[in-house]
Structure 1
Amino acid sequence: MEKQFPANWTKATIGDLANYVNGRAFKPTEWKTNGKPIIRIQNLNKPDAVYNFSDQSHEDKYSVKKGDLLFAWSASLGAHIWKGDDAWLNQHIFNVMPKSGVDKNYIYYLLSKITAELYAKAHGSGMVHVTKGKFEETEVLLSPTNEQKRIVAKIEELFSELDNGIAALKTAREQLKVYRQAVLKHAFEGKLTEQWREDNCVDKTSWQAITIKDISLLGPSNGRSVKDKAGGFPVLRLTALKNGKLDLNEFKEGAWNKDEAQNYIVKEGDFLFSRGNGSKHLVGRGGLVTGPIIEVAFPDTMMRIRLDKTKVIPSFFSYLWESRLIRNQIESSARTTAGIYKINQQHVKSFILSLPSLVEQKTTTDIIDKKLSVVDAQLYALEQQLMKAETLRQSILKKAFSGQLVPQDPNDEPASELLARIQAEKAASDVKAKKAPAKRGRKAKEASE
């Protein structure tokens, strides 16, 4: 934390600013199709994530109202203002209840600013999370109550302008993606090579309806789940799949050696794709393994197809996989379990595609490359601008919570007095709680969790 800050600010912790009530551990057997929705982490991160429901009554502390501040502390850290109707809160999410004199939106933006710090403190295997103790110990700077309101107003003014610019960038990006899909649609309907077929006396009826199984030398097959271990053989992370490409440098070191990983080592021309995702539109997104090749295996979160190059050109297949012809089959096959959409090997084997000759595949790929090279360059430029916008957002938050965004008012009550009052109220509440008669039984234990 910076040593220099305004005179009427003070050092505090996240735990000083609010009470954090964890959600209830709803069991799958309790999930219903009606009642109030149960808010899980995927419902906060993905608008189209499926909800589970509960038609039962639960303790009030698990109830969520519109406008409540929630903080996901497992799997995907982040602060969210709940905009839906009344709901129940699932475990791994805190309902953040600000102390008197602390503005709710001030905490919201503060949590957004320090999420990166919380990631650095995260631990756990499989699910990223922080413990409540470490979370509450996170050091922050606290400003006077009146200045909190001025800070929030200024942040929202600047973010409104920034969000308008981001919206324009995203609109342009979506328009380019629509054009990209139009090119792919025409390609796999044979429209891009109509002139080529005419010049070479090739009829469209030469295209063959075929399944993925028919063009695979190996797979589709699942990867292997491997625990982390420094110095072990590398295994790709799911994040290696990026925008239709595969980044072989996005890996972790696993608890196995090369001999154990042998059957999972990727080769040039292999096609990898995700087995599942909380969003149906993202499940099955894939990428082609291209050079330079490094020795790395693929994980259980991916599937691999090793293509028969006597039947299909890998780059042609990669474009085909991205098109609606395959996407429609993926999305119609995907089944949801615990909010995660998944496809399996049998689904993929049965996907139907229409293949021209290898010569026409090469011609098609060349035309697609030429048409999309400019589009991809523009998409890359837009992504860079969006990244810069996010950097600017973080810069605004950094200034806001170091006293550099709005002027200080010497007439404001110092934050040290606010903090002293909060701590005195907490101490009094703790004494009262100790004097209260102890509750017995399982229900009492659950209430204390």
Structure 2
Amino acid sequence: MGELPEGWASSTLGDLAEYVNGRGFRKAEWSKRGRPIIRIQNLTGSNSVFNYFDGELEGRHAVKAGDLLLSWAATLGVYEWAGPEGALNQHIFKVKPYVDQRFFRYLLQYKLREVQSRTQGSGMVHVTRGEFEAVSVAVPPLAEQHRIVEALEEQLSRLDAGSVLLEEARLRGAVLQKQMTKAVISGRRCTAEEVGDADELLSLVDVQVARMAGKKRWAQVRDPEAIWTHELPSGWRWRTLGSLCVDIQYGTSAKTAPKEKGDDVPVIRMGNIQSGRLDLRDLKYLPAEHLDIEKTLLRDGDLLFNRTNSAELVGKSAVYNEKMGAAVYASYLIRCRFAEGVEPDWVNAVVNSNFGRRYIASVVTQQVGQANVNSAKMALMPIPVPPQAEQRTALKVLRDWEAAQARPQLAARVAMKRSKGLRSAILRSAFSGKLAPQDPGDEPADTLLARIAAEREAAKPARRTKRAAARPRKKAAAPPSEPAPAPTSVPSTAVQQEFDL
């Protein structure tokens, strides 16, 4: 942690706040009225739809406007609840700071990157209460906490205003992208000339699937349910995703680690799928001799489908290209290998379109706060199949449009990255004692921490006494060999003394 500024003291996140975990609400408990159940997607803004709880709720699980919330699974984030009163779902802590709450909110934001860097494995981000509580922090005097908050809010308010404008520009580009993709996969923007129909292609696909997939259940499905289909251009056909695949397989569940040897093999995880593409900047690895390498080694054109994630991200997909180098994939992903004649990028565009997202939302299941789509449900996804030449024409339309949008979108992303860097630098300055001045007249932080510890210790027996008073112990029955004593009148003071004992 280094040398602390004058008046500061060392502590941990656990010593500075109480963390109350939310409750796991069963689907049977959901209602259309009552308190909104606050889930992670309601905090991140990815889903504004609430489920409600209309039953008895413990006070510790009730959330009021102004309460500080911390999501600790899948998405790490700090939020101040704006209301109305809600019910706290699992995988979210309600944080009760013993120091200035605004100061502690910024402190948590500053420490989240350190917390996230400690998480390991090939799957979801998941941080335990113990990991949070053990994080070391530097604590300034209470008066300086107030000065730090004032300085932070002055500087970050301007930065946040600029970030809002950049985010709006990014979202406008994303909306246009979805509109263009919808037009292309529906056949309104990309009809190739003299391409015939898809029947000949699908006959060849069926032969390959029958030879390589055999009697696999997903390979036998042919006709999508009518509810998910709509009229297609002449020559196009509806097929299920599974009937286009010669192989569907889950990834490795082996524990991954940072690269140690030159021949270690990268493992593609759910976080590497970003906006329909693979982002390989953050990778974990397996040793080249690991037994899972051979069966999960990717080939050119393999589509990776994210089967477990938060509700807004489950079902995202991307296509692996052999130019990326040798790689395998993790257990939260499903690999789809297509028959010749099916363009993987075409299927990927359909899966990531609004049409694909609606299908995934209709078949997703919720388990322990996460959304899941298994391979059987994924294999039933309807895919519009044009002739191969028209698939390629459609993909060219999408690539050309994306290229035209690339420069402004790149400029927005670069600016947002710089904004995040500036925010991190400002927070780092604040919590190293360089943003606000020290005042020798401030009460030292170690005095504040001693007072907090004393108050917490004093509160413990009070809670035990309260529980004892709520559930008084029953008198032990007299031994059967002796007659029970006759009832007598006991003064109220004597009763109280017995309870106190």
Q: TM-score range by the shorter chain?
A: 0.7 to 0.9
Instruction: Provide the rounded CA distance (Å) in 2 between the counterparts of 1:391 and 1:155.
Output: 15
Residue 80 of structure 1 deviates from its aligned partner by: 2.2
The reply to whether residue 365 of structure 1 matches residue 395 of structure 2 is yes
Q: Deviation at 1:396?
A: 1.1
Matching of residue 3 in structure 1 with residue 12 in structure 2:
no
Distance 1:316 1:438 in 2: 63
Residue 114 of structure 1: how far off its partner (Å): 1.1
Given that residues 144 and 438 in structure 2 are in contact (C-alpha distance below 8 angstroms), is that contact kept between their aligned partners in structure 1? yes
SS, match of residue 287 in structure 1: strand
The superposition leaves residues 240-291 of structure 1 with CA deviations (integer Å, 9 ceiling, x where unpaired) of: 21221124675544699665554433210111121243234x3321111112
Percent identity for Structure 1 against Structure 2: 32
The Cα shift of 1:317 comes to: 3.4
User: What corresponds to 2:418 in structure 1?
Assistant: 388
Residues 41-440 of structure 1: matches in 2 within 5 Å? 41-45=40-44, 47-48=46-47, 53-99=52-98, 102-122=99-119, 128-193=125-190, 197=193, 206-213=234-241, 216-219=244-247, 221-224=248-251, 226-228=253-255, 235-247=267-279, 251-253=283-285, 260-280=292-312, 282-310=313-341, 312-337=342-367, 339-429=369-459, 432=461, 436=465, 439=468
Q: Which has the larger radius of gyration?
A: 2
Q: Give deviations 1:108-162, integer Å, cap 9, x for gaps.
A: 1111111122234457896655554553343322223233222212222222211
Contact kept in structure 1, 2:298 and 2:328, CA below 8 Å: yes
Query: Residues of 1 paired with 2:119 and 2:281: CA distance?
Result: 23
Cα offset for 1:390?
1.1
Contact 1:155 1:396 in 2 (8 A): yes
Q: Is the 8 A contact 2:241 2:382 kept in 1?
A: no
Checking the alignment, whether the CA contact within 8 Å between 2:123 and 2:332 is kept in structure 1 is no
Counterpart CA distance in 1 for 2:131 and 2:359 is 45
Is the deviation greater in 62-71 or in 73-82?
73-82
2:329 is paired with a residue of what secondary structure? coil
Q: Is the 8 A contact 2:182 2:353 kept in 1?
A: yes
Given that residues 248 and 296 in structure 1 are in contact (C-alpha distance below 8 angstroms), is that contact kept between their aligned partners in structure 2?
no
CA distances 1:201-225 after superposition (whole Å, capped 9, x unpaired): 9799652213134762424x34145
TM-score by length of 1: 0.80
**Structure 2, unaligned runs of 5 or more:** 198-231, 474-501
- Of residues 353-362 and 28-37 in structure 1, the stretch that sits farther from structure 2 once superposed is 28-37
Q: Distance in 1 between matches of 2:456 and 2:428?
A: 29
Which residue of 2 is the match for residue 36 of structure 1?
35
Matches of 1:269 and 1:125, distance apart in 2: 22
Q: Deviations over 1:59-102 (max 9, x none)?
A: 43333221112334455443322223223434554332233xx2
Distance in 1 of aligned mates of 2:36 and 2:434:
41
Distance change (3 Å), C-alpha of 1:145 and 1:31: same
2:349 aligned counterpart, secondary structure: helix
Cα distance, 1:424–1:400 mapped onto 2, change above 3 Å: same
Letter paired with 2:273: L
Shift in Å at residue 106 of structure 1?
0.5
Distance in 1, Cα, partners of 2:465 & 2:80? 34
CA distance in 1 between partners of 2:308 and 2:72 (Å): 22
- 2:493 is matched with which residue? none
Distance (whole Å) between structure 2 residues aligned to residue 96 and residue 294 of structure 1: 44
Output the amino acid matched with 2:424.
Answer: Q
1:292 partner SS: helix
Counterpart residue type for residue 28 of structure 1: R
Moved more, 261-270 or 394-403: 261-270
Alpha-carbon distance between aligned partners in 1 of 2:468 and 2:120, rounded to the nearest angstrom: 33
**Counterpart of 1:447?**
none
Matched to 1:380, the amino acid is: L
CA distance in 2, matches of 1:75, 1:323: 23
* Letter aligned with residue 402 of structure 1: S
- The alpha carbon displacement at 1:23 in A equals 2.6
Shift of 1:417: 3.4
Distance 1:260-1:404 versus aligned 2 partners, 3 A rule: closer
What is the CA distance between 1:408 and its match in structure 2? 3.3
Partner SS for 2:410: helix
Whole-angstrom distance in 2 between the partners of 1:134 and 1:351: 40
Superimposed CA distance per residue, residues 354-390 of structure 1 (whole angstroms, 9 cap, x where no aligned partner): 4333233333323332221131343233222212211
CA RMSD of aligned residues (A): 3.8
Q: Is the CA contact 1:272–1:286 (under 8 Å) kept in the aligned structure 2?
A: yes
Cα displacement (A) at 1:44:
3.6
**Which whole-Å deviations, capped at 9, do the CAs of 1:321-340 have from their partners, x for residues lacking one?**
43334344334444445554
Contact 2:91 2:369 in 1 (8 A): no
C-alpha distance in structure 1 between counterparts of 2:274 and 2:122, whole Å: 23
Q: Which residue identity is paired with 2:140?
A: S
Q: Which residue of 1 aligns with 2:491?
A: none
Question: Could you tell which deviates more after superposition, 78-87 or 236-245?
Answer: 78-87
Compared with structure 1, are the counterparts of its residues 211 and 247 closer, same or farther at alpha carbon in structure 2 (3 Å cutoff)?
Answer: same
Q: Is the 8 A contact 1:17 1:98 kept in 2?
A: yes
Counterpart amino acid of 2:449?
L
